[in-house]
Structure 1
């Protein structure tokens, strides 16, 4: 399969370091902004006005030459400590200069980065670690500290069920200063990058890995599955480099361009292009005003729809500059027409582009805001497949799907089916399959229903899967619903997404009462149509939903104990029953989502 590049991403970065861009800034990490009082403007009491003007400063800058030196020094030290090609490394370090160096050093050695969300349930975390079989853990000092002792209780009170990293029987590398809870024999990342032999290395000699193979495993990302069958995507160095090159080409990145993002998804392409990766001190949601200020006038940024909404709110209220970057990529969740239209009106000088892809193959297609807004047909236009990406439609995937009432004939027009993809950024396969001896995959069945328009562009018409996307978090209901159904008094439980105008989804938990509770339910709950109840009568399509059933008090209080923070629902409702669909009689999530959306619209219910 032809792709946009056949060069290893570290070879490209190394070429910049050895060439004319060696002394150019590769990484620029911003500090959290301080504030100074506004001169000549005082509050009523004579004190300086609160807040004041933002005082921005750069915390650290790293040139290409220094970046390459740190990567080689870290790889050398890790090899002397015993890291070898194929070793899997549990990785929980944010994209800061130190974390970027660690990640690229692992790839330099031919080892494998394993991303496991520390915010998942302890059982799921343990199952994923067991499935990956890592030999190493690279973790921020703070995560060690808050995963045990007094700080663990504080994190627990805020809904973070963090695993005890220090107890994992692995070789540990810490990013950041030593803190209580950090394993005493952990290797400090800063010392590894310094190149000092006394940093812990016991062997001698340079890193013996001279080649940079493209087909070896480089990255494992867990995406879904259960504690008994965790599901993880495995990428090679070649597929990662190809995906980054495709994004850089779609972005039209040039040497010297500055990209402001907290995502490696666009940061690495900036490095491959010979530009500067400008790194915010936190996520856009943590300080969207500072994020907008640092992105203004730069070459570009990458935002999920929820963060773009925050940025536009700040721009429209005068808190952030009315100047955006040259290009804004929007992805990670469905990119709606309304959010792109709003972005074009609020930041008209920015070229807004929607990105479509998934963990298994990213990116797949991009669409200009103008093209998406001009699309008059049904479905969601996500754009033309990028160079090297092949898309086909498998019409057999929709056979047997339920039709709309009264729709007895198969619709005429484009062939609708499951979207199947191939391309240079395609994963090697799923972890369990590869470890079990299966060969690398040659295509990916996306689970998205789509058709190709007359221009060969992909138009999505639905999803075959139940995943909910909120912000940057993918929520898989099947992981949590058994726990929720086991709560006292609960009969059944379902998590559904309700699509919002900006393309994000609200997460709604719907529960029914266990038979004994339902039989004794007091009047005014689901047995009688009281105030706050929305929905038709029992047995007539949508279920009857209410937000004030007595069962919900206990359910809401128990949620932090059974759900990780990222999966906590925005709203909890009681239903007289869960609607069922198909011959398998599984919960009808589409009907349940419509009922929840109608409840939100009718009652104006606020998130729980």
Structure 2
């Protein structure tokens, strides 16, 4: 199997002067700060990899990586992979205990960090970071070898080496690096480690190899229809790198779309492709609607304006993509082809559908949501599996209090695979395989367990007559906000230990763009049992109570920064549902939606 970095080397030979990376900056984000050609990119990756090896980086070394997408960081990331190392992403916004547990699990030998992050975690900026809820670890004290990007700032540890200086330390081999120095195309050694969830006792990280990363990049090329000479304007590496490997230009915005939507709107106009998470799409559409760009989908003038204001193709993913978001996007940017992407960190991407297909399915003109006029499971169409993705629906799903298919408790149906009426679709857990399937979870691989052969998504789904995947629910609780998966069960026990709290339940309130707002519902301890409301009564909820304010002031001590609630409310009691008498999260979502200032999608 060809290493994906060898594709870059071939492009450097064939199209040396074409632009591979274009990074924007300036106050308005419109100025081109740096351009890197294919020849320059390949050379800098090789020189940097050579410099890393000269410093002592060995195949298998793990590198804690905390650098935003920009040429210096992208080159360093690729050079680490070229040198045979593994890039480990650990959220610095985790609680100190969880960050320490993840570092202990990853066992990095190196850290590659922005100079600003060193300063914010140990210098005078640390107080500002804490005031904004970031309990940053002291990166400079980590017992690793340090690499940093950007200009030196106070807090950068003594002996740290600037990434750009590695170019001077390295050399460009005349015949390419020795084969022994390159990672195996699909060996068992990690190339990418991403922590997704877990507790201090058992942090959970997804591991990809060079081979599965190459598979991922190839699948994303299908999503964007990427070709040589195209412009992909995005801050997301999983579309940027495939664009480069297809011979196109990855345009990197100065700041994330949600942080500078005006600048992103200017940069993405007229691009061939882009990839955004739903919350970023909302920020972009807000800007475009405010300036009146693209609107007027009726008529040729509206189509021309829409094409000028947006990219030719805009892929949306990393969180549920709602019909409401796609309808709005199609209205504001009628000349853009909108694509919804489905996948998971463990196997990404897996399926896709465009706005027209998804909207038609939701309206009942397709088979995806109605499953036929004779009944069956409605659901959310996520599309056809990409070429190379294998799909299996496991009907033996156990432990479901509510069966969306109308099937039996085990999900198999009374007649061996259909709904209760014998005509509906057979719903089960969605299980995926493919070239981008992770090698496994870090703890399993480090313990010598076999590599993963499939990924159980936790999503309840069925395939319609056309082979399209339709989701109808989940068999475990999870909230998705932005690009962060939040598993309430990991955090609720710690929240229940807070002073004055009897019970604590985290729920996600769906927003029209597919994102979720996290609401923490707490009840007070010490209430007389005889005066407690009956469970079937509708709970009374309050915002701003003494308990809610006290909990809000303490959640930063027990939750990851990415899991902090948007709102804390106090309830008289938590409603229960199902045979197991678990918290009725659906009822709580209905109850707190008005308080969260959102509507259910």
Query: TM-score, normalising length from structure 1?
Result: 0.87
Provide, for residues 229-283 of structure 1, a one-character-per-residue CA deviation record: whole Å limited to 9, x for no partner: 1111111111111111111122111101010000101011011101000000110
Q: Match of 2:297? A: none
Deviation at 1:290, TM superposition (A): 1.1
Q: Are 1:371 and 2:357 matched, yes or no?
A: yes
Alignment of 1:8-23 (within 5 A): 8-19=3-14, 21-23=15-17
Which one of the candidate residues 63, 78, 82 is aligned to 1:108?
A: 82
The residue number in structure 1 matching 2:237 is 264
Distance 1:520 1:428, change over 3 A: closer
Q: How does 1:79-90 map to 2 (within 5 A)?
A: 79-90=53-64
Alignment of 1:432-581 (within 5 A): 432-515=443-526, 518-519=527-528, 538-540=534-536, 542-581=538-577
Structure 1 residues 542, 407: CA separation in 2 closer, same or farther (over 3 Å shift)? farther
After the TM superposition, which residues 409-420 of structure 1 pair with which residues of structure 2 at under 5 Å, given as runs?
A: 410-411=420-421, 412-420=423-431
How far has the Cα of 1:67 moved from its partner? 0.7
Structure 1 partner of 2:286: 313
Q: Counterparts of 1:407 and 1:474 in 2: how far apart (Å)?
A: 28
Q: Secondary structure at the match of 2:536?
A: coil
For residue 277 of structure 2, the aligned residue among 304, 328, 332 is 304
The counterpart of 2:266, out of the listed 283, 293, 297, is 293
Contact persistence 1:160–1:564 (CA under 8 A): no
Aligned residue number for residue 590 of structure 1: 586
| Selected match of 1:248 from 221, 230, 240 | 221
1:358-391 Cα deviation digits (max 9, x unpaired): 0000010010111101112220000111111010
Q: 1 CA distance for matches of 2:327 and 2:510?
A: 17
Give me the whole-angstrom Cα distance separating, in 2, the residues matched to 1:304 and 1:85.
Answer: 34
Partners in 2 of 1:228 and 1:246 — Cα distance?
A: 34
2: CA distance between counterparts of 1:320 and 1:280? 20
Cα distance in 1 between the residues matched to 2:549 and 2:399: 43
Please show how residues 41-190 of structure 1 align to structure 2 within 5 Å.
Answer: 56-190=30-164
Indicate the larger mover: 157-166 or 540-549. Answer: 540-549
**Equivalent pair of 1:398/1:417 in contact (CA under 8 Å):** no
State the SS of the aligned residue for 2:125. Answer: helix
Q: Within 5 Å, which residues of 2 pair with 1:193-204? A: 193-195=167-169
Moved more, 328-337 or 142-151: 142-151
1:225 is matched with: 198
Q: Is the 8 A contact 2:506 2:521 kept in 1?
A: yes
Indicate how the Cα distance of structure 1 residues 392 and 254 shifts in structure 2: closer, same or farther if over 3 A, else same: same
Q: Give CA deviations for 1:447-503 in whole Å, capped at 9, x if unaligned.
A: 000000000000000112222111222222233323322222111212110111111
Deviation at 1:570, TM superposition (A): 1.6
- Quickly say closer, same or farther: Cα 1:405–1:307, change in 2 above 3 A: closer
Change (3 A) 1:319 1:473: farther
Between 591-600 and 497-506, report the one with greater CA deviation.
Answer: 591-600
SS of 1:396's equivalent in the other structure is coil
- CA pair 416-407 structure 1, distance change in 2 beyond 3 A: closer
Any conservation in 2 of the 1:419–1:448 contact (CA below 8 Å)?
Answer: yes
1:406–1:31 Cα change, 3 Å: closer
SS at match of 2:396: helix
Q: Contact 2:401 / 2:580 at 8 angstroms: preserved in 1?
A: no
Distance 2:461 2:403 in 1: 16
DSSP 3-state at the match of 1:76: helix
Shift of 1:193: 2.4
C-alpha distance in 2 between matches for 1:310 and 1:103: 29
Q: Compared with structure 1, are the counterparts of its residues 582 and 156 closer, same or farther at alpha carbon in structure 2 (3 Å cutoff)?
A: same
Tell me which residue corresponds to 1:396: 396
How much does 1:214 deviate?
1.6
Deviation at 1:563, TM superposition (A): 3.3
Aligned length: 555
Are 1:159 and 1:564, in contact at CA under 8 Å, matched by a contact in 2?
no
Which residue of the partner structure matches residue 19 of structure 2?
25
Return closer, same or farther for 1:188/1:207 CA change in 2, 3 Å cut-off: farther
**Distance apart, 1:414 and its partner CA:** 0.9
Q: How far apart, in 2, do the equivalents of 1:549 and 1:361 lie?
A: 43
Distance in structure 2 (CA, Å) of the matches to 1:573 and 1:30: 42
1:347 aligns with 2:333: yes
8 Å contact kept, 1:226–1:478: no
Following the alignment from structure 1 to structure 2, what is the Cα–Cα distance between the partners of residues 67 and 406? 55
Aligned-partner Cα distance in 1 for 2:474–2:433: 19
For structure 1, the 5+ residue unaligned runs are 1-5, 35-54, 198-204, 528-536
> Does the 8 Å contact 2:496/2:502 carry over to 1?
yes
Matched-pair contact (CA < 8 Å) for 1:289–1:320: no
C-alpha distance in structure 2 between counterparts of 1:234 and 1:264, whole Å: 17
Q: CA shift at 1:298, angstroms?
A: 0.8
**Aligned partners of 2:467 and 2:321: how far apart in 1?**
19
Residue 360 of structure 1 corresponds to which residue in structure 2? 346
| Residues 417 and 403 of structure 1, relative CA distance in 2, 3 Å threshold | closer
Q: CA deviation at 1:301?
A: 0.5
CA, structure 1 residues 405+130, in 2 after alignment: closer, same or farther (shift >3 Å)? closer
Alpha-carbon separation, structure 2, partners of 1:407 and 1:329: 34
Of the structure 1 ranges 186-195 and 381-390, higher mean CA displacement relative to structure 2 is found in 186-195
Shift in alpha-carbon separation, 1:436–1:564, aligned structure 2, 3 A: closer
1:335 has 2:321 as partner: yes
- 1:213 maps onto 2:199 in alignment: no
Which structure 2 residue ranges, 5 or more long, are not aligned? 295-305, 370-377, 409-413, 415-419
